[in-house]
Structures are given as C-alpha cells and as structure tokens.
Amino acid sequence: MTIPNTTHNVPKLLILKFSKSFMLFMPIIVLFYQDNGLTLAQIMLMQSLYSIAIVVFEVPSGYYADRVNRKSSLTIGTMLNLIGCVILSISHNFLGFLTGLFIGGIGTSFISGTDSALLYDSLLANDKEDEYVKWQGRIYSLGNFSEAIAAVIGGGLASLMGLRSPIIGQIAIASLGVLAAITLVEPPTKERQIKHVNGIRHFLEFMRSIFIVNAALRWSVLLSAISGSSALILAWFAQPYLKNLGLDEFWVGIIWGALNLTVALVSLESHRIYKTLGHKRTIALIPILIMIGHMLLGSISHISIYIGISALFMLYVVRGVSGPTLKNLINQLTTSEMRATVLSARSLLIRIFYAISSPFLGWVADIYTLSQAFILSGILFGTFGILSMMMFRSKAQSISLQR
C-alpha cells in the first residue's frame, strides 16, 4: 500500500491560516454595517448568533473530521467561508448580513481544531511530531502578522474605494483558503477506522473519554480553554484600557499593532521557549502570569502608563507561548482518531467560557470600573487556571511528554 506524501501539507496549512487571518474587513466592519442602516444592537445580535453557530457545530464538525476525513472537513469549511464572504459583499440589510455570518460561522467550526490535528498527523507520518510546537508557533505567528497587515490595507481600501471594498477583496483571500484545502493530502493514521456503529453513541464515547476517563487530557483541555478565553477578554478590554490611559486613537492603533506583532514573534520562538524552560515550568507559568498581568492592569497600572503597557505586553507574550504549547500538550495526550474532536472541544470551551464571563465582566466595567473588571478577571482566570495546571500535573506524573 502506498503511503501518501504529506510533506507539502505544512506550507498549505500556512496558506490556510493566512486566508483565515488576513481579515481586510476587521478595521471597518462595524462602520460598514452602520453605513447599511444597522444599529449597534443588531450588530451585537449578529455576532451572538455567529458565535452560536460555531458553538453548535464545533465539536460535531471535529468528530466528522476524525471519523470521515480531515481534508474534506477543511474543504467544506473554507468553501462555506467563501460563500459567507460573497453573501456579505452583496448584502444590504440585516437578514443578508446574518445569513453570510451564520454560514461563515459553520465554516469556521469545520476548520477549527481540524487544521491543528492535520498538522500534527502530517508531521507524525514523517516522524517529525517533535516539530509540532515549532510549526504551530509559526502558524500562530503568521496569523498575527496577517491580522496586523490586513488592518492597515483594509483601512486604506475603505478610505480610497469605500467601505464595501474590503469585503469584496476578502473574497479573493477566502478563495486562497479553498485552493489550499483541496490540495491537501490526508495523512495516514494508525488508529482511525470507519466503523458502522451508532454515530451519536460513538460521539458520546469520545466526550466521555475526553472529560471523564482521561483525567490528564481533561485538565489540559480546561487549562488551554481558560488561557484562550482570558486572551479573548483581554483583546476586547485592551483598547478601552489604552483610551483610559489618555492615549489618542493614533497611539492606541500603534500599540494595538505592536501587541499583535508581539504575539507573532513570540509564537515564532515558542518551541525554543518550551525547550528551554521544559513543559513543567512552561505550563506552570502560563496561569500564574495571566493572574499577575490582569492584577497589575487592575491595581497599580494607573500609577504609571509604563506599568500598564508593560503588563499588556507581558500578557501578549504569554498568549504567544500558551497557544502552541498547550495545543502540543493536548496532541500528545490524544490519538489520531479523536484529535480533531478534542481540539474542537477545546475551542468550544473557549467560546463557552468567554460567553459566560464576558457579559459579566463587561457589566462590572460599566457599573464599577475597568480596573475592577481586570482584577476580577485575574482572580477568575488565574485561580481556575492554576487549579487546572495543578490537577494536570498530579494526573500526568506517569505520562512521558516531550521536553
């Protein structure tokens, strides 16, 4: 039997990441919706429904990728994203925009987790799985570089050619993702066998294995989800925080771009950081620094603008390390037949934790102060993160992990 050549999957996954992250429309999307007559309430409702679409399809799509075919899952996801972009570009009302976003949300769920699983299995097929952190870090880095560059280009397009032009331009970027997906090669897996069993029962068995049977995996997924959701909270709070420091829009934009570039550069070197510190120290530092960073932002950062900005950069450094490192940890604890499902479960938990915590923390910021919201965020994410880290270390003592 001929073994498929998966060596070219890695550059194709880089193209796929570029197509996901090079979002020309991000700096103007709210203005675009408002220019088409939508209120802010309608815009937030659309984003809520978009998140619901991802949550509903997140784990089932990962299960599909594990049990059927990862290449087809990525192809479906990129094609749905392309269709969503086309619908957005020709729509002029709430229903049209909602339809485009909802289809795009389903597409995102088919990609989420599956791309990381295919990367790991492609490296595994070539006995290079120890390079996963390096390549995942490069993919993370490319994503953040792409976001920063796309924001500048998208804003320029909007100012020169109108608010709809970045949406139209996004169609070409989304098409690159489709081309990358359809040329991927499905990696061989030792464990995957398509069995004619009750699909729902088998899916529930997977969930039981993730969250009940495999304690080390359970706590690693929870730690990764807590880290990911704290990063989302920070992303939404960072800009109003910088405004509260007295910075104008120009400097907010400069620092925002620098923060994203920091994540990109740190992600690029995350494999070296991981090897230098070792997995125990790296995993321990992630929730501890998340707590310290948020507490600094909420307590003494008002004393000096430099303390606040330094705390922000520290948290973005943690984000650059935690993404590739914790995904690698999860990959080492799973088998190929369930890897995409586990990574999708991680993404699902991130969105659930974010959906629960963000309205509450936003309410605290509105009713009280942003500083108090940061302190509470540090207590919540830091405490549960440290607990998850300690539980993982207690359950994984007998497991051999890459150093």
> For the chain, what is the domain count?
2
Instruction: For residue 46, give its domain range.
Output: 8-183
Here the CATH number for the domain that contains residue 252 is 1.20.1250.20
Domain assignment present for 190: no
Write phi, then psi, for 397 (nearest 5 degrees).
-60, -35
Q: Which letter does DSSP use for residue 131 in this model?
A: G
Residue-level pLDDT at 189: 64
Q: What is the pLDDT of residues 199-235, one digit of tens each?
A: 556 566 666 766 777 788 888 889 999 999 899 888 7
Residues 164 and 222 in one domain: no
Q: Are 206 and 107 contained in the same domain?
A: no
**Rounded CA separation 256/232 (Å):** 14
Hey, how many other C-beta atoms are within 10 angstroms of the C-beta on 333?
21
Say how far apart CA 157 and CA 160 lie, in whole Å. Answer: 5
Cα 67 to Cα 277: distance, rounded to the nearest angstrom: 36
pLDDT (tens, 9 = 90+) of the chain, 403 residues, equals 455 667 788 888 888 888 888 988 876 776 788 889 887 567 667 776 777 777 788 767 777 777 778 888 899 999 999 999 999 999 999 999 999 988 998 898 888 778 888 888 888 887 787 777 778 778 877 887 888 788 778 877 887 888 899 899 999 999 999 999 999 888 876 554 444 445 556 566 666 766 777 788 888 889 999 999 899 888 777 767 877 787 765 676 677 777 878 887 888 788 788 888 887 888 999 999 999 999 999 887 566 788 888 999 999 999 989 888 888 888 788 777 677 677 777 877 887 888 778 778 877 877 888 889 899 999 999 999 999 999 988 877 655 555 4
Tens-digit pLDDT profile for residues 357-394: 877 887 787 788 888 989 999 999 999 999 999 998 88
**Which among 183, 207, 240 is the end of a domain?**
183
- Residue 201's pLDDT is what? 63
Q: Are 76 and 103 in contact (CB under 8 A)?
A: no
pLDDT of residue 193: 46
CB-neighbour burial class of residue 44 (10 A; exposed 0-12, middle 13-18, buried 19+): exposed
Asked if residue 58 is part of any domain, the answer here is: yes
Domain assignment of residue 83, yes or no: yes
CB neighbours of 83 closer than 8 A, spacing ≥ 6? 100, 103, 104, 107
Do residues 164 and 209 both lie within one domain?
no
For residues 265 and 127, membership in a common domain is answered with no
Taking alpha carbons only, the member of 64, 105, 17 closest to residue 341 is 64
Residues 203, 63: contact at Cβ < 8 Å?
Answer: yes
Q: Are residues 173 and 218 in the same domain?
A: no
Q: Do residues 81 and 144 share a domain? A: yes
Q: Are residues 131 and 64 in the same domain?
A: yes
Q: What is the DSSP letter of 396?
A: S
Q: What is the largest CA-CA distance in the chain?
A: 67
User: Are 230 and 163 in the same domain?
Assistant: no
Neighbours of 403 (CB within 10 A): 10
Q: What HEC string does 61-97 produce?
A: HHHHHHHCCHHHHHHHHHHHHHHHHHHHHHCCCHHHH
Would residue 188 count as lying in a domain? no
Query: 204 with 179, same domain?
Result: no
Asked whether the CA dihedral 195, 197, 198, 204 is positive or negative, the reply is: negative
Kindly state the tokens that stand for 202.
Answer: 């088998």
Same domain, 256 and 171: no
pLDDT value at position 304?
A: 74
SS3 64: helix
Q: In the prediction, which pLDDT does 252 show?
A: 66
Residue 377 lies in a domain: yes
Q: Examine the domain organization and report whether 222 and 124 are in the same domain.
A: no
Alpha-helix residue ranges (DSSP H) falling in 126-214: 132-161, 165-182, 199-208
Which helix (H) or strand (E) segment holds residue 100: the answer is helix 94-111
Do residues 26 and 151 lie in contact, with contact meaning Cβ atoms separated by under 8 Å? yes
Asked whether 24 and 154 are in contact (CB, 8 A), the reply is yes
Count each helix (H run) and each strand (E run) in the chain, helices first. Answer: 15, 0
Asked, for residue 191, whether it belongs to a domain, the answer is no
Domain termination site, one of 149, 183, 217: 183
pLDDT value at residue 340: 67
On whether residue 336 sits in a domain, the answer given is yes
Q: Does 170 lie in the same domain as 216?
A: no
- Is 193 within a domain? no
Domain end call among 134, 151, 183? 183
